[in-house]
Amino acid sequence: MAKIHIPAEFEQKYQKLLGSEYLDFIECCKTKLPKSIWINSLKIKPEKFYSQFEAKYSDKNIFLKQLPFHENAFEISGIDKPGSLEEFKEGLFNLQEKSAMLPAIALDPEGSEKVLDMCAAPGNKTIQLATLMEGKGKILAIDKNVERFRSLNFNINKFGLAKQVKTVRANALELDKKNYFDSCLLDAPCSSEGLIRKKADALKNWSQELVEQKAALQKKLILRAFDSLKKGSCLVYSTCSLSPEENEGVIKHLMQKRKPDFEGVEFRGFKLRKGIDDIGYRVLPQDNNSQAFYLCKINKL
C-alpha cells in the first residue's frame, strides 16, 4: 500500500482522542484493507453462490470466507479486482467494505415498510436494504450529486431493483415528507476519515474546518430524517468518520432538539466500541481489520 498522507492536525487530534491506542490505529490504517462482498440474494441464495463460486474459482486460488454477522456477507481473497468477475457484472454480488455493511443490517427493515435511504448514492446500502427486505416494500433513495446519482441508478438497474426502489435526485434537506416513513438510513456525508485504508490520500483535504462544516450539515440532515419518520419507527445514523463532532455531537444535537430513544446493536463476530458518553458505537480498524466507522440506532417514540 502507498504511504498514507496524515496531516499534523489530524495526528494531534487522534493522539488525544485515542490515547495509547493511537499507534495501533494508525499502524492498522497503513495496511491493505481486505476485500468483501455482499450477495444479491434476490438473484441467488448465498449458499448456492458460495458452492458455485468455490467450484469455479478454488483452483485459481480465489476464495470466499463467510463473515459471521450476516449470511450475505463474505470476504474475498486471491484477486485484486473482484469487479472483473462475471458474477459481479451479472449483479450477483456487490463490492462493499464489511463495516459499511453494518448500518443497513442494524436498521433491519421489514418487507412491508416504506424506507428512506437519505444520502443513497452510489447505492451500496440501498442494495443491501432491498435484499434484507426480500424485494418487498418500497425504498426511496435520494441523492443530490449528479455523478453519484448516475451511479445510483446504474446500480439499481444492474441489481434488478427498479420495481422496489424509487430514486430521486434532490437535496435531502428539502424533503417535505413528515411522519411518513417506517424506517430511515442516514449514512451522512462526512470528512471520510475512515477511508484511509482504501485511499492513501483520503486525508489530503482533511482539516478541522472540514469536520465542522460536515457536522453542521449532518445536524440538519438528522433532524430532517427524524421528522420524516412515523412514531414507533427507526433511524440508523452512520458515518465513515471517528470525529466526535460528526458522530456523538450530531446525536447530542438531535437529543437537544427532539426526544429520541436509543436501541442497542450487536453483530456476531464483530467488535463494536461504545461511543463517547455511551452514545452509539464506534468501529476501530484494529479490532476487526476493517475501516473506521460509527453508527447509532435511534427510535422515534
Q: Who's near 235: CB < 8 A, 6+ residues apart? A: 183, 184, 185, 186, 222, 225, 226, 229, 260, 297, 298, 299, 300
8-state DSSP, 200? T
> CA–CA separation, 52 vs 92, rounded Å?
12
Cα 176–Cα 178–Cα 179 angle in degrees, nearest 5: 160
8-state DSSP, 143? E
CA R_g for the chain:
19
Cα 277–Cα 283–Cα 289 angle in degrees, nearest 5: 155
**Would you name the residues annotated as active-site residues?**
240
Q: At 197, is the secondary structure helix, strand, or coil?
A: helix
Neighbouring C-beta atoms of residue 148, cutoff 10 Å: 15
